[in-house]
Structure 1
Amino acid sequence: MTEITSTPVRQVRPATEGWSQKLDAEGRPLLQFGSPKRGKPPVHLADLTAAERVERIKELGLPGFRAKQLATHYFTHYTSDPDDMTDLPAAGREELVAGLLPPLLTEVRRLETDRGDTIKFLWRLHDGALVESVLMRYPGRITLCISSQAGCGMNCPFCATGQAGLTRNMSTAEIVDQIVRANRALAAGELGGKKRGETTPERVSNIVFMGMGEPLANYARVVQAVRTMIAPQPEGLGMSARGITVSTVGLVPAIKKLAAEDIPVTFALSLHAPDDQLRDELIPVNSRWKVDEALDAARAYFDATGRRVSIEYALIKDMNDHGWRAELLAEKLNARGRGWVHVNPIPLNPTPGSIWTASEPAAQAEFVRRLVDAGVPTTIRDTRGKEIDGACGQLAAAD
């Protein structure tokens, strides 16, 4: 750890603790945008469009309407068990289900906290890769934080997920299956209980792509998964695009591409620093696309979709929580107009003795005050799952 002591404001620089960042040939933090070559998961119903499902069924010599029956069982009843599918002919039923609904996620372990209102699932994929997702009950909604990659190639020094690098991209169906499995758990009453007077349906209502991986580095599969999430049942999960948040550390070309998809998902930019000097160290992809480029792309997303952008900002003691940084952030956001953005400061999960620890309450309050005084809508993020390493930046998928 190195500190700048030439000013009265204490400035801690980012540094890894207990592990070493992978570096490229020029000594810079290694960025992995491409997925390593590994065996592909089996093709699943959720990998296919509605038309492709019918064609696959017909190739098996069955009438096309069987595709809709299978989709109804999977996307509406959240089952892959042939014994539940009594509307399918008994002869050949198991083979049909095994062929189109192969197992994708094997539950290794689950941990619960928040009086049973938060569950972290550890899943093993077909090739042994491990991923995690976190299911959370809030008043009026049920949120699932999902993974889009096994590991992550963005190499941010504060994030547990990135320590081992990128194992591989997840398939569309592996992404979607996290939701189906969560809905199955909800239907079985495994996530706490409804509060008195609560009328929320017992299924996932909100998705945040803030689990393992950089979603926009697995662009095609993530977008296809989102389209499956919002497709009406039984062709998909029948979710609202407005309840889905796609987060990125700032892959500018992919942000622009997402804006053109005509899917009104909520877009979140994990910024964490408004100045390039610090963000270069904190978010290595900033060496490719600088703060202003990322903010320009975020503003363009708002212009294209009308959806207010979220700026995620983990408050780290003496590193990025200085009052002047709040003012610089407000200046940069307001320079691009008003009403297009909302800031979510996230109290970092504290680690005793670490440089990566939460801001002091007074510093956090001052940071928020300066943003609000500048007219920037700001809400402290309510984080869940800290006790089970299920909160932001903690997903490491250790077996």
Structure 2
Amino acid sequence: MAFRAIEWLDDSDTLQLIDQKVLPQQVRYLELNTTAEIARAIHDMTVRGAPAIGVAAAFGILQAARSFADAPAEEMQSALQQADAVLRASRPTAVNLFWALDRMKAVWADATDPANLPAALHREALAIEEDDIAVNRAISAEALKILPQKVTFFHHCNTGSLATVDLGTALGIIRSAHEAGHEVFAYLDETRPRLQGAKLSSFELLEFGVPHAIVVDGASAHIMRTQDVDIAVVGCDRVAANGDVANKIGTYNLALAAADNDVPFYVAAPMSTIDFATPDGDAIEIEERDSAEVTEINGHAIAPPDAPAFNPAFDVTPNRLIAGIITEYGIARPPFTDSLAAMRTAQQNALKEDV
């Protein structure tokens, strides 16, 4: 891989991130030295993508622990509680953020020996990172089982190496199909308002030599009707227990276009993204972001001065529009309440075997 979106530099207690706000014009790396810096990077989308956000947050907790390595146990616990709260507040919709922080909290919450805690948190953060790599590869392996030799994809937002530690989820499937010898072509919608499809997904597919074309968001229905699209595949930030999916704004529109044109619509979702505590999509909090993201592009105004704008960052795609949810334990299909529960059982059994 020619770039690495997120990497822990252990010698300096530093999290190195590729600054996704300046891609593709610049490939610039930032070194973050505090939990507060990591939280800001998550909030302003220097680092983005649900899996990458979770990994970044885990290392943010590690940084806090190492900063207070010589402090009394009570002081370290207070510092970790504060770091946990700051990171949880950085973005509300991506469940991987809370999943990773919960894993780290399970290590630190009841610890009484501050001397050993940084090492234990280091092991857990690295495990979260390694799990992401393995899970992404397993998701691609499951997807390859259902793809034809010649396959045209439609993809939304960015779900590749920039959104994860290594391969990616939905974009990882496209890349894996290409590398496995499939005749691949991908349509990438630009993904307004932040243009992750045009800026980031195209950047990745160019790096890996995958044939593709950027299209405007409003072209999806026309392209599906006229260009023989075989499959639409997207990532997600949260899956409810009933299979409703929260993902980047515009996903719902794409799913409707796919349904009207008989294009199967799939979601790539690590089990860590499935929130069994959330019954359906109506219970998912939808982040609203600064209206300037809509009225400006790269700091240049495209709307009249003081024009009002509404900027929900995510939408919820109802489960009735989804053909399958591709996880590392197989492909869940309708009815999702049953199939996702079966995936959770498979995961729990696998974890028991590993113990």
Which has the larger helix fraction? Answer: 2
TM-score by length of 1: 0.27
Q: Quick check: which has more Rg, 1 or 2?
A: 1
